[in-house]
Amino acid sequence: MATPWSSQSPENYLLNREELLRIRQIKLLTSDRDYVFFALQIDYFGKSNPSIDVSAFCKRWDLNEGNLYKALGELRNKGIVVSISNQLDLRFQS
């Protein structure tokens, strides 16, 4: 398996689920807010209004629900997530 950094050009670096989990595991990324941001980009790339199954998302990304909601609140405060509905339909800033 090729590593994300083994490509010829730095423009080809890919952040996929495996790489994001590895970065978090070795503690290069310690902020849940940033981790959730990148996880959302990986799972919902190009979608401005995704509906999220909270339980499945948390299981897939090894998060507890409280940390997810806290991170989403922080992303909302930064203006990255515009709104969060009660069914966890997100609207991202475009």
Query: Three-class SS string for the chain?
Result: CCCHHHCCCHHHCCCCHHHHHHHHHCCCCCCHHHHHHHHHHHHCCCCCCCECCHHHHHHHHCCCHHHHHHHHHHHHHCCCEEEECCCCEEEECC
Would you state the pLDDT for residue 92?
67
Pick the CATH number of 4-92 from 1.10.10, 1.10.357, 3.40.1000, 3.30.450: 1.10.10
Are 29 and 35 spatial neighbours (Cβ–Cβ below 8 Å)?
Answer: yes
Q: If pLDDT is split at 50, 70 and 90, which confidence band does 8 have? A: low
- Give pLDDT, residue 67: 96
pLDDT tens figures, 48-94: 888 888 889 999 999 999 999 999 999 989 988 877 765 555 666 66
pTM over 0.85: no
